[in-house]
Amino acid sequence: MIQGQNVQTNPPACIFSCALTWGNLTDNLWPVEMLEAIEKLLILQDRDRRIARLRNELNNIVPERQSLQSRTASSLTAFEAAKHRVKQIETDRKKLELDVESKKQVIEKYSLQQFQTKKNDEYRALAREIEMARDAIVKLEDQQLELMEQAETAQKEAATATRVAEDSRRVADKLLADLTKKEENLQKELAGLEADRDQLAAAVDHSVLPRYERLRKSKGENVVVGVAHGVCGGCHMKLQRQVVVSCQGSQEIVHCPNCGRILYYTRDMSLAVAE
């Protein structure tokens, strides 16, 4: 911020006529008081911007954490599903074993009855039953083979799902830990910035501060804006010559007639003035 060494409260007499060549004036003609007011506003605005950015970063951490957690959760769900499938196949396979066993018992029982009977009809009927039970056993054994193949595939899938879930958990844990560390640092930094924010605000001219605070609520972080090429740095509307000249005069706080933002002007900004 440009600041003169000598305090001069009044602008030079030629303020209006030489407005376009204001930048050629020497430092010690620069009115100091108003610049200080603007400078303090700019310091406060810079602080408020940094605070807003940090709060925004902190707010972003919540969804970031949720997305990491949900990614881990979905790989865990896939792992659970694969494990469940392995168990289900095993259960089905055991049931088939029991079915085979019971068919074998049927065959045994009918064979015994066949051995004991003296009637041809009964003997043949039992023979048919035994044949049917044997056919059923063949079918059950085919199903068992099919299930064993399925079990092999399911076990491979479960192993993969386990690996994926473990990897995902490991990566997520690391990222979550980083995120927590980042959050702590941001909170610490934010606390530091907020701690003396009120002090910075108190240093601002009391007649300007309420307006600044109001504008901050309605316009966001761009409240004290420069004038470049005769245009408001906030709403980008062309400013009337009179307004630009007042800014250059730096004798009072000047507001943009269009958006109400607080305007300031330094010599490194373009001198162009609206027609």
Cβ closest to Zn ion, residue 35 vs residue 232: 232
- Minimum Å gap between C-beta 201 and Zn ion is 23
Q: Give the number of C-alpha atoms closer than 13 A to the C-alpha of residue 44, restricted to the C-beta side.
A: 24
Regarding 232 and contact with Zn ion (CB under 5 A), the answer is yes
The structure tokens listed for 30 are: 């620069």
Regarding 274 and contact with Zn ion (CB under 5 A), the answer is no
Cβ closest to Zn ion, residue 176 vs residue 235: 235
Regarding 263 and contact with Zn ion (CB under 5 A), the answer is no
Q: How far is CA 249 from CA 12, 31, 32, 237, in A?
A: 9, 8, 11, 20
Regarding 76 and contact with Zn ion (CB under 5 A), the answer is no
Give SS3 for 248.
helix
Position among 32, 126, 224, 259 found at the interface with Zn ion (CB under 5 A)? 259
The structure tokens listed for 44 are: 């406060």
Regarding 244 and contact with Zn ion (CB under 5 A), the answer is no
Regarding 227 and contact with Zn ion (CB under 5 A), the answer is no
- Minimum Å gap between C-beta 77 and Zn ion is 53
Q: Which of 103, 102, 101, 123 lies closest to 113, judged by CA? A: 123
Position among 32, 68, 256, 271 found at the interface with Zn ion (CB under 5 A)? 256
Regarding 32 and contact with Zn ion (CB under 5 A), the answer is no
Which residues between 152 and 191 bind Zn ion (CB under 5 A)? none
φ and ψ at residue 222, rounded to 5 degrees: -105, 85
The size of the interface with Zn ion (CB under 5 A), counted in residues, is 7
Question: End-to-end CA distance of the chain, in Å?
Answer: 28
Regarding 234 and contact with Zn ion (CB under 5 A), the answer is yes
Question: Distance (Å, rounded) from C-alpha 86 to C-alpha 154?
Answer: 6
Regarding 240 and contact with Zn ion (CB under 5 A), the answer is no
The structure tokens listed for 7 are: 């305090």
Question: Distance (Å, rounded) from C-alpha 68 to C-alpha 17?
Answer: 64
Regarding 143 and contact with Zn ion (CB under 5 A), the answer is no
Position among 258, 266, 272, 274 found at the interface with Zn ion (CB under 5 A)? 258
- Interface with Zn ion (CB under 5 A): 232, 234-235, 256, 258-259, 261
